[in-house]
Amino acid sequence: MIIGLFLRSIKTYRQMHFIPVAFNNQNKMINYIGDNGVGKSSILEGLDSFFNKKEYNVNIDYRTVHREERLPFFVPIFLIEKENISNKLKETLERLSNYFWSVDVKELNKIKPSVAKDFKTLRDVYMSYKDTHYLLILGENRNNKLHFGFFEALREKFDNPIIDENILDEIKNLYSYIYLPVEANAEEFTKLETVYMQKITGKNIRKEIEKCLPNIDYLNNLLEKFINEISDNMSGEYKYKPIKQKRNKIENNDLISLIIENYFKKRTLFKSGVKDKKISELSAGEKRQALIKLIYAFLYKNKREQTIILGVDEPENSLHTTKCYEQFEILNNIAKSDNIQVITTTHWYGFMPIISHACAHILTKNDGEDEIIFDSYNLYDYNREIKQKKKNRKVSINYHLKSKNDLVQSIYYSCIGKDSYNWLLVEGISEKIYFEYFLKEDVENLKILPLGGIDEVIKIYNFLCVATQEKNDDFVGKIYCITDTDQNTHNNISPSNNDRVVLKRLLNKQHSSEQTEVIEFTSRRTGSTSIENALNPICFKETLNKMNFKYMDKINIENTSGNTDFVYNLDCKDLHDFFKDNNGENKIIFAKNYVKLMQENSHLKHIPSWINDIKNFFIGN
């Protein structure tokens, strides 16, 4: 994957810049946010030039003053698994990688301290990969000559013996870059014979056709014989001869071009419906949706030998706010596939609270300077980072508020009209996994959205209460916000004037037949309760055993209701610590394993009765 970039004199970037890409190996969706002209698209265009052998769009200053110290270059920072590299490259790459892993930052400070600091920070994050991955800083200048960007001034320290220029092509061949610019022509992009579509499908159509071709020599001999017979019949007075400077035989490419032209030109992409529409007849926003869904259909969970890098300029372009969430959700799902990295530019902040295995870089320009500043967020724990940045006074504008506003608008507008969504807003990813199993088949158009904690659910609920306080007969979707019951007191809960927007919490009944129920959030009844307190105890134990939990004897799981409703007394510090381990991932892994066991074993299947309260909210009038 690409974890960073060095570039200079490329479009918006006049000076040498370090461009952050991924925070860690889990950041497979990278998003650049900022105003027009700040340098977002320059990154995606530069990648297109680098991987697809296109001319670089150089900075306007360099066009007028060709100074050697401003020579444009574009140099990615690669993190590549050693086992993916052929033996003929290993010796050279090992030497290069060892240098980049170990170079002293004091040497780098002499070149440009701010860039040296950024590189060291990035390298420190990935240092645990040193034994299994190559760290490679390889790129090119505008003349397509091998270049090391920030490290070019130190080249003599690692370029001995001289590195073969062809090594860059070998590295490029490990990747396939697909670029969807804002102005992409949907009709042209979706033609199956185009280079981008061949990259997306994973097949080289020309090579596939070539396998089916007849013996080309036999065909040429047959045609030559036919031509000679015609000449003989005209007694040599007239004859067919090859046109001067033209090939006189058919080649495979001639036949392939004819086949592609005559087969694919008769087909175009349609949107299915009561009356199918050509893609050329769709609105600009519908075309954008079609392109992303087409890419998703080919890329999602389809393994590729090459690493796919998908660059999408403004996925939300020309889309109504209603559709922005869905567009980013599709791209996020693409990024979950193996060997795929998704990089977007956007003006829509609404994805920031909801996509966890991703990062966001907010770009701003220093007033009166050439430098472009990157304010970066690891979205796995976005809300904690926002709090920390506010504490350190590192947030220049309230992106947190803007991200909430954009998300609320998307949710609100998606609830209007006949094709409206229903929303279940929950605390975390593990809750989403359980609710998808419990509800997906029964509730139509249901979107389940994890928000990262009880405080975030309350905030979004309060925003939605403001948005829905005025009556709107077209608001037909429903929004159910649900949280655990914790030990803290939560005040400032907005009253909802719309019965289609509710906030509830889970609570174990106390001093009665044990079960879990859903109650009004503002109820004074309390008692620490999480969704894990309302799961099937047998399946719960089976799941822990499957995950090799070491302290089964310490867990006190009581089933006192005797039939369908189960409550857990999980007063076990080891279990709580287990769920918190691995940055909280164990809780998510547990949820996945729990649902899988439910699906595979009929005797373990159990839908808690409190789920019916939520289900009835959605399916009732």
> Which of the two residues, 124 and 305, has the higher pLDDT score?
124
Helix axes 585-600, 429-439, angle to 10 degrees: 20
The two beta strands, 133-137 and 73-81, are antiparallel
Q: Which of the four pLDDT bands, split at 50, 70 and 90, describes residue 274?
A: low
> Which of the two residues, 368 and 216, has the higher pLDDT score?
216
Q: What is the pLDDT of residue 560?
A: 44
Rounded mean pLDDT of 542-570? Answer: 64
Q: What is the pLDDT of residue 561?
A: 45
- Decide: residue 169, CB within 10 A, 0-12 exposed, 13-18 middle, 19+ buried: exposed
Mean pLDDT of the chain: 83
Comparing CA positions, the residue from 421, 490, 416, 413 lying closest to residue 457 is 490
Q: What is the pLDDT of residue 311?
A: 95
Q: What is the pLDDT of residue 453?
A: 86
Q: Per-domain residue ranges for the chain?
A: 2-183+284-397, 209-264, 415-619
pLDDT one-digit tens code per residue, 150-185 = 898 888 888 888 888 889 999 998 999 999 998 887
The vertex-217 CA angle with 214 and 220, nearest 5°, equals 95
> Which of the two residues, 277 and 375, has the higher pLDDT score?
375
* Residue % of the chain over a pLDDT of 90: 27
Q: What is the pLDDT of residue 618?
A: 93
Rounded mean pLDDT of 64-73? Answer: 76
pLDDT one-digit tens code per residue, 434-479 = 999 999 888 988 988 888 889 889 999 999 998 888 888 888 899 9
Q: Which of the four pLDDT bands, split at 50, 70 and 90, describes residue 243?
A: low
Q: What is the pLDDT of residue 381?
A: 65
Helix axes 537-546, 585-600, angle to 10 degrees: 120
pLDDT one-digit tens code per residue, 126-142 = 999 999 999 999 999 98
pLDDT one-digit tens code per residue, 557-608 = 655 444 445 555 566 677 778 888 877 788 889 999 999 998 888 877 778 8
pLDDT one-digit tens code per residue, 310-329 = 999 999 988 887 788 889 98
pLDDT at 74 over 60: yes
pLDDT one-digit tens code per residue, 400-444 = 677 888 888 888 888 888 778 899 999 988 999 999 999 988 898
Rounded mean pLDDT of 77-105? Answer: 89
- The DSSP code for 433 is H
Give the chain's radius of gyration (CA, Å). Answer: 30
When the candidates are 3.40.50, 3.30.160, 1.20.1260, 1.10.3470, the CATH number that belongs to 2-183+284-397 is: 3.40.50
E strand map for 474-612: 479-483, 501-508, 516-520
Rounded mean pLDDT of 270-295? Answer: 82
pLDDT at 246 over 60: no
pLDDT one-digit tens code per residue, 332-364 = 989 988 889 999 999 988 888 777 778 899 998
What is the C-alpha to C-alpha distance for residues 401 and 327, in angstroms, rounded to an integer? 21
Q: Which of the four pLDDT bands, split at 50, 70 and 90, describes residue 202?
A: low
Reduced to 3 states (helix: H, G, I; strand: E, B; else coil), residue 50 is: helix
Rounded mean pLDDT of 518-534? Answer: 87
